[in-house]
Structure 1
Amino acid sequence: MKNLFLCSSFFDVAGILPNFLERINSNCIQTVSFIDIASHVEEYKEYVEKAKLAFEQQSLKLEVIDFNQSSDDIVQQLQKNDLIYISGGNTFYLLQMLNEKKLTNVIVDLINYGKPYIGESAGSVLLSENIEYIKKMDNPQNAPNLKNYKSLNIIDFYPVPHFENQPFKNLVEQVISEYGESLPLIAFDNKQALWVLDKTIILKDET
């Protein structure tokens, strides 16, 4: 049973997280594996601090995952905590680092076992079968050791975050123009979240 909360800007939609957790009967969630590695190659990182604040405002305890530690230690943290969150940033670098730490299959298994997952921007794109489609928005050169673009393949569609939102508006339009007829894209803006509950997809607005 998949329990996915996909968004462009977590801070802007965190207000509907309690409803999501209630929907999946996970009100006992207290701890979050907080993965912000995708932001490490970006100049603008304010969204990471905003996401931390949003979690703290809901009394959730964060454990920031340090990629300098061993893969085994990271796996133990992911298994121990109640929820996985992956921030925005560069999707290609994110996938490269997950591959290097041999975490992709671990995350896939945890999601398939029902562990709730929140993906913000790059963290949403990561769940698609292949991330090549997002190259207009993210620079693949930030991941020189990434051998291919095969990703987690958790969902059967391709998220396009930041729809109609600056500074990504033109880039999003380019992605849709190039792949809109060949891939099942789902675009959503900064005030929306996609809930993926097993095979059911619900588009929610922050109100």
Structure 2
Amino acid sequence: MNLLLASRWLDAVPGFLRTTTATARPRVGFIGTASSLYPDPAWLEVDREALQGFGCELVELDPTSPEFAADLDTLDAVFVSGGNTFHLLHVFRTTGAEQALIEKVRAGLPYIGVSAGAAITGPDIEPVSLMDDATETAPLDSTEAWGLVDVVVIPHADGIVGGTQVVDDTRTRYADRFPLLFITDDQAVLVSDGSRSVISS
């Protein structure tokens, strides 16, 4: 598997795509589902512009579409944006898109996740409950997440988004129950060929 799990900024994306895709203009599926709760998620346009600036051809993906699994076969990589992690998991789980994406990533489709898109790849999303409001979306039967990595990536650990108190409280409440990996907004977790490292982004 090849994953790039960022907190906020995307500077590590070009290098990641150069090493994981075979084309100069990779076709990247853009999944903005985590932000669909909000009337004006300005960060989505920031991400789109950044990816296009890196030379990506963006394809908007909707996990509620019956063509979602087939659409994944047309991509060089997939990008999952930030927003509400609980909403993201709810949509993927209730539509059946969850298993399709997990299978493709495990089979080698490069995955880029930012904030919520990073947190959902771990074993459980309960530890992000102090950053994201679970009541903004429908209740989940389980907060068990995708299990693509063995840690819960906690973004925004520098406190620029949301403040430092929520970061400290997350560590205090959850560090003894879950393997947490805190990253700042200029960091990302790179997962490649079974190894994991924190890099600049």
TM-score normalized by the length of structure 2: 0.92
Off by >3 Å, runs of 4+ in structure 1 = none
Distance 2:145 2:104 in 1: 15
- Residue 11 of structure 2 aligns to a residue whose secondary structure is helix
Deviation for aligned residue 1:20: 1.9
CA RMSD in angstroms, aligned pairs only: 1.6
Structure 1 distance, partners of 2:22, 2:12, is 13
SS at match of 2:30: strand
Structure 1 residue corresponding to 2:185, chosen from 183, 186, 190: 190
Choose between structure 1 and 2: higher helix proportion.
Answer: 1
- 1:37-56 residue pairs with structure 2 within 5 A? 37-42=33-38, 45-56=41-52
Which residue pairs with 2:149 in the alignment? 155
Q: How does 1:105-184 map to 2 (within 5 A)?
A: 105-168=99-162, 169-184=164-179
Tell me if the contact between 1:132 and 1:149 (Cα under 8 Å) persists in the aligned partners: yes
2:82 maps to 1:88: yes
DSSP 3-state at the match of 1:41: coil
Q: Distance in 2 between matches of 1:57 and 1:180?
A: 38
Check the 8 A contact 1:42/1:90 in 2, yes or no.
no
Residue 17 in structure 1 maps to residue 13 in structure 2: yes
Residues in 2 aligned to 1:84 and 1:6: alpha-carbon distance in whole angstroms: 12
- Offset of residue 43 of structure 1: 5.2
- Matched with 1:7 is 6
Q: Aligned in 2, Cα 1:112/1:41: closer, same or farther, shift over 3 Å?
A: same
Q: Distance in 2 between matches of 1:56 and 1:38?
A: 20
- 1:133-178: per-residue Cα shift (whole Å, max 9, x none)? 1111111112224221111111111100001132322212211111
Counterpart amino acid of residue 100 in structure 1: T
The 3 A distance-change label for structure 1 pair 165 and 91 is same
Give how far 1:66 is off.
3.2
Q: Deviations over 1:31-50 (max 9, x none)?
A: 11100011011356121111
Moved more, 143-152 or 131-140: 143-152
Indicate the residue corresponding to 1:31 in structure 2: 27
TM-superposed deviation, 1:85: 0.6
Give how far 1:180 is off: 1.7
Map 1:54-69; keep pairs closer than 5 Å.
54-67=50-63
Question: Equivalent residue for 2:91?
Answer: 97
Instruction: Give the TM-score normalised by the residue count of structure 1.
Output: 0.89
Write out per-residue CA displacement over residues 68-116 of structure 1, whole angstroms, 9 at most, x where no aligned residue.
5x32x11111221111110000000000100121011111111111110
Give the fraction of aligned pairs with identical amino acids, expressed as a percent.
Answer: 26
